[in-house]
Amino acid sequence: MDIFKSTSSEFLVNLLKNLKCSLIFTTYESGCIVIISAKENKLVQLTRSFKKPMGIALNKDKLALATFNELLIFSNNNDLALTYPNKPETYDSLYMPRASYYTGNLDLHDIDFGSDNEIYAVNTRFSCISKIDADFSFKPVWKPSFVSRILPEDRCHLNGMALLEGKPRYVTALSQTDVAGGWRDNITSSGVLIDIVKNKLILEGLGMPHSPRIINNELFLLQSSKGEVVKVDVANKKYEVVAKVPGILRGMVEYGGYVFIGVSKPRKSSKTFEKLPDEFKKQSAGIVVFYKPTWGYVGEIKYSSPINEIFDVQVLPDLLRPNVITRVSELVENTIVAKNLSFWYKNTNIAKNTNLKTKDNGKGKQ
């Protein structure tokens, strides 16, 4: 269902076709995830509602999503996608809800799968990096040295995380403060990048840093208050600006030589965002795309209504028309999945790998 009005160039339609992928992003303000795919000569989008969706992580056929008080795990099933009751033979993949971790309101930001197949998360409310744990709301594994205690006070607004060799290595925070909400006082120039293995600062004085990402063995991050994409020289503790966009930048992913970055508009009701440049207020929310070898601008997807803020952006490789079912959908009740066995139980619509087929009379709403 397309509820958001967007515009894009023909180049981006062809780009997604050539890369054989789709995009997925979270907009916590609108309470949705949005999947963007190429169909013929246009982009199509599919939206699913969640309460404050934030970080997204992918690991083969698994997708993890951080929400207001849960971390959700989905698993892709191609056979169920082909026999999807509402639109059979439309989708090439279907992410089904498989597990939920009831974390409570941790204000999770970036999340990722580690080499141990465990999920690491930036626990912003408690100012630490956590593992998602079935026994507890979270299991802290690291906190900044300048944070004295792990308490639900969002002391430095820890927000971004990059893994190296399957373990958290670099993180971003908006300040080095050690009091509840202290980061708000000097938000546009007090950000830091930290090497958590060495527990040392790499960069200080950053403008609202977000989304540190390792791309081709190089570290990049976004300066949200300056609309800058920067490449970090870790050894010499300096950086260079490789691209600029007049908007709040959050969410970055590279695929096939192209970098996709989320762009947000300043919140009108936010005193924090009042400090940002006036030109940011004229920018539309969306996704901007750069060609990585030269960091040349190649196009963007702009939203005119009602998306204003984007947090995370990811690529779904080798999926041309992916679908996601939320756990509140009645369709969840009608699916059975086991090894080499997948079918819509209510309608006895057996998927391909069982070699049994019946007419599909599903009436699911999604």
Find out whether 248 and 276 touch, Cβ atoms under 8 Å.
yes
Distance, CA of 160 to CA of 244 (rounded, Å): 19
For range 166-194, the mean pLDDT: 94
R_g (Cα) of the chain, nearest Å: 21
The two three-digit tokens of residue 170, written as one number = 């670099």
* pLDDT of the residue at 163: 97
pLDDT class for 365, splitting at 50, 70, 90? Answer: very low
Question: Which one, of 154, 131, 129, lies nearest residue 144 by Cα?
Answer: 129
Which residue is it, tokens 């060495």? 198
The pLDDT of 204-214, averaged and rounded, is 97
DSSP strand pairing (218-223 vs 228-233): antiparallel
The C-alpha angle with vertex 171 and arms to 35 and 289, in degrees rounded to 5, equals 35
**Is the pLDDT reported for residue 160 higher than 50?**
yes
Return the higher-pLDDT residue of 206 and 186: 206
Q: Alpha-carbon distance 184 to 297, whole Å?
A: 32
Q: Kindly report the pTM of this predicted structure.
A: 0.90
Structure-model confidence comparison of residues 208 and 364, the more confident one: 208
The pairing of beta strand 258-264 with beta strand 248-255: antiparallel
Mean pLDDT along residues 99-104: 96
Q: Read off the pLDDT of each residue in 323-330 and give the average, rounded to a whole number.
A: 87
Nearest to 6 by CA among 209, 364, 194, 287: 287
Q: Which amino acid is at 199?
A: N
Residue written as tokens 């698994």?
62
Averaged pLDDT for residues 257-274:
79
Mean pLDDT score, 246-261: 96
Is the pLDDT reported for residue 104 higher than 90? yes
